[in-house]
Structure 1
Amino acid sequence: MRNGRLLSNPAARAQIAAAAALAGWQGGVAANGWWQHRGGGYGWVGPLFWPFAYNDIYGYAIWGDDVGFWGYGYPDIYAGIFGPYGYDDLRGYLPERRAGRRYRGGGRIEQMCGNDSRSVAGLPVDQVADAVQPTEAQLAALGELGNASLTAARTIQAACPAQVVLTAPNRLAAMQQRIEAMVTAVGIVKPPLEKFYGLLDAEQKARLNALAEDQRKASAASDSSAPLANTCAAAQPAAQEWPTGEIDARLHLNDTQRAALQVLQNTSADAAQRLKAACQASDVMTPPARLASVSSRLDTMLQAVKDVRAALESFYATLNDEQKAQFEAIGPKRSA
C-alpha cells in the first residue's frame, strides 16, 4: 500500500480493499460480502468508509479512471445502516488502547484512509510536465497543483476513524464526516487545477487529454469492469430491499416505532432515487470538468447521507436498549 504506481490502478485498489474488507473476521471465517461493489472493491472496510478516497478522486479527475469513484452510492448508505461487522470482527482493524500510552488511532486501515506521501498522493507532476512541456509560468502552476494535492490528501486522511463505532447512527455520522472531508479536498484542488489547465494552449490540452486516454487504456487492460455509465447505474438500485420482516420479528415494534421506520424507509428510497439520477455521463473529457462532476456527486451523496441519518436517528430514538441491540445484530448475522 506504499506503492504509488500500484495504487494508481483502480483494479489494484479494489483488490486490496476486498482482501482487507474480509480480513477482520476472527478465526479466518470467510464472510458473505454482500456489501461488495460491482467493480470488486468495498465501500466499507471495517470501520472505514471509502478506502483510498483521494486516489479515486484524482484518478477520475486527472486520468478519467471511473470505476473506483463512481462505484459508490446508496448501497454504501444501506451498508452503514445494517453494518456487516460485529465488535469481534472490527477489533483487528484498529489498535487497542494501552494503559499509560496516548491513543493515536490508525492501525491496519491507516494507509487506506489516505497516504500523504508525494509518491502516493501527489499528482504525477513529472509525467504531466513531460507530456505538455510547460512554460515557466505553467510549471509553477503545476507545482501549486501538486502541493494542493498533498494538502487535499491530508484533509481526507484526517477523517480516518480513530475508534470502532457499533451503532447505525454513528456509522452514518462517520460516513458523513468522511464525505465532508472529501468535499473539502475537492475545494482545495479545484482552483489550482483550473488555473493550470487554463494556462495551457490547445496543443498542450490535447496532449494532457491524450495522456489520460493512455492511462485509461492501461487500467482497462487489467480491469474487466463495466464502463462508467454502467458502473454508476449498476451501483444505484432504485431501492434496496429492507429486511422489514426480520426487523418486525426481532424488534416487535409498536405503532409509533413502525411509523418512524416507514419514514426512514421512504427517506432511504428517495436518497436511492436521487443518487441513481445523479450518475455522470461518460463523455466528460477534461480534468476541470471531471473534477466538477466529482464535486457535484459528492454534494449529492452528502445530502443523501444527512437526510437518511436524520431519519435513522429519529427511528433509533424510539427504540429501547434491547431493540437497538436486535437492530444492530441484523447486519452481522447476514454476513455470517
Structure 2
Amino acid sequence: MVAAAALVGWHGASNGWWQHPGGSYGWVGPLFWPFAYNDLYDYTIWGDGLGFWGYGYPDIYAGIFGPYGYDGLSGYLPQRPQGRRQARSVPLDQLCGSDRREIAGLPIDQIASAVQPTDAQGAGLDELGNASMQAAELIRASCPTQVAATAPGRLAAMQQRVEAMINAVNLVQPALEKFYGSLSDEQKLRFNALAEDQRRTSANNPNASLAQSCGAQSASLAWPGSEIEARVRPNDTQRAALAVLQDTSAKVNDALKAACQPNDVMTPPARMAAVRTRLGVMLDGVKSVRAALEDFYATLNDEQKAQFEAIGPRRTS
C-alpha cells in the first residue's frame, strides 16, 4: 500500500530521488517516515538498522524541494479526483493506519520465549508491552491530517513526526531498561541473541552497508542554486536569506553525518539509547532548517513562492 501511494508522485522517473536506496521511502505523499515505529523496534530488538539509519539529511532536502506537486498530493485528500489517478491513490487516513489492527508493538511474545521470565520479570515485560502499544499509538496519531503543499509546511509535518518518535522512545526506554535490568546474565545473553541471526544475515546482504554508511547519504545531493536563481530571481535581501538557508542545511548535513550508527552497540537498551540520540540530532536539524527556510520564504512574493515550490516536481519529471 505504501509503495502504491508513493507512486502517486512518481512522474515517470525510474527511481525517485526521495526514495531510500534500501527500497523504502522517506516521504510518501504528505507522510514522512511511513514505517516509523517498525524501524524503531527493528533496530532496538533485532539489530536491523537498515530502515532506521536510512533517514537523515536527504529527507530534510526532500522536505524543502518536495518531490510531489499539488496535483499528485491531491490523491491523498478526502475527496479524491475521479479518473486514472484515482486507481493509484491511497487516502491519507488509510496510509496512516486508521485500522487500529495495524498498530504494531514490540514482539513481546518472542522476547518472553527467549528469556523465559519469572513472574516478577513477567510483570516488567507486561509494562514494556503496554508502553510499546502506547508508543505505537503516539506515532500513529502524528500522521498529518491534511496535505502540506509548501516547503515550510512539509518541514513542520516532519518536525511533528520526529517529535512523536522521540516521545514514543521516551515512553518505551525506561520500561525496556527496567525489564532488561531485572534479567540474569544468562537471560540477557538470550535477549541479546535475538539480534544475532539478523546480524549474520545482514553481513551477507549487499544493502546492509547502507545502515553503516549513513554519513555518505547526501553525497549526491547538489543544492539547486542555479535553478533557484533562474526561477525565483531573488533580490539581494532574498539572496542573503537563501545563503543562510543553504549554510544552515550544510551544517545540519554535517551534524547528521557525525551522528551515524555506532558499531559497538550490542544490547537492546544501548540500541534504543542510540536511537534517542539520533532522533534528537534529527529534530534539532529539522528545527534549524525550518527556521531558516521560513525566514527565506517570508521574503518571497506569491509568484516567487510558486516558482520555488515548482522546483521539486519539475526536477523529478
The answer to whether the superposition gives a TM-score over 0.5 is: yes
8 A contact 1:18–1:40 mirrored in 2: no
Amino acid across the alignment from 1:66: G
For residues 297-312 of structure 1, what are the structure 2 equivalents within 5 Å?
Answer: 297-312=278-293
Structure 2, unpaired ranges of 5+: 81-90
- Which of 78, 81, 90 matches 2:61? 78
Aligned to 2:88: none
Rounded Cα–Cα distance in structure 1 between residues aligned with 2:125 and 2:73: 41
1:110 is the counterpart of 2:110: no
CA positional deviation for 1:115: 7.2
CA positional deviation for 1:216: 4.0
CA positional deviation for 1:321: 0.2
| Per-residue CA distance 1:150-182 (angstroms, 9 max, x = gap) | 000000111101111111001000000000000
Rounded Cα–Cα distance in structure 2 between residues aligned with 1:335 and 1:109: 23
Q: SS state of the match for residue 92, structure 1?
A: helix
Q: SS state of the match for residue 38, structure 2?
A: helix
- Which of 307, 312, 318 matches 2:299? 318
Identity rate of aligned residues, in percent?
67
Amino acid across the alignment from 1:257: Q
8 A contact 1:278–1:300 mirrored in 2: yes
1:20 is the counterpart of 2:20: no
Scaled by the length of structure 1, the TM-score of the pair is: 0.86
8 A contact 1:141–1:196 mirrored in 2: yes
Aligned to 1:226: 208
CA positional deviation for 1:94: 3.6
CA positional deviation for 1:231: 3.7
1:138 is the counterpart of 2:124: no
Q: Which moved more, 1:151-160 or 1:212-221?
A: 212-221
Rounded Cα–Cα distance in structure 2 between residues aligned with 1:251 and 1:158: 36
Matched residues, number: 308
8 A contact 2:104–2:136 mirrored in 1: yes
Rounded Cα–Cα distance in structure 2 between residues aligned with 1:17 and 1:236: 24
Q: Which moved more, 1:123-132 or 1:323-332?
A: 123-132
Structure 1 residues 32 and 133: alpha-carbon distance in aligned structure 2, compared to 1, 3 A threshold? closer
Q: SS state of the match for residue 288, structure 2?
A: helix
Aligned to 1:43: 26
8 A contact 1:67–1:231 mirrored in 2: no
For residues 81-160 of structure 1, what are the structure 2 equivalents within 5 Å?
Answer: 81-96=64-79, 106-111=92-97, 117=101, 121-160=104-143
Aligned to 2:266: 285
Structure 1 residues 228 and 197: alpha-carbon distance in aligned structure 2, compared to 1, 3 A threshold? farther
CA positional deviation for 1:232: 1.6
Aligned to 1:264: 245
RMSD: 2.2
Rounded Cα–Cα distance in structure 2 between residues aligned with 1:295 and 1:116: 26
- Which of 220, 234, 238 matches 1:253? 234
Q: SS state of the match for residue 147, structure 2?
A: coil
For residues 164-183 of structure 1, what are the structure 2 equivalents within 5 Å?
Answer: 164-183=147-166
- Which of 200, 205, 208 matches 2:188? 205
8 A contact 2:202–2:208 mirrored in 1: no
8 A contact 1:116–1:153 mirrored in 2: no
Structure 1 residues 305 and 259: alpha-carbon distance in aligned structure 2, compared to 1, 3 A threshold? same
8 A contact 2:231–2:308 mirrored in 1: yes
Aligned to 2:83: none
| Per-residue CA distance 1:295-330 (angstroms, 9 max, x = gap) | 000000000000000000000010000000000000
CA positional deviation for 1:220: 6.7
8 A contact 1:21–1:45 mirrored in 2: yes
CA positional deviation for 1:197: 0.2
Amino acid across the alignment from 1:107: D
Aligned to 1:273: 254
Q: SS state of the match for residue 268, structure 1?
A: helix
Amino acid across the alignment from 1:48: L
8 A contact 1:229–1:282 mirrored in 2: no
Rounded Cα–Cα distance in structure 1 between residues aligned with 2:41 and 2:208: 19
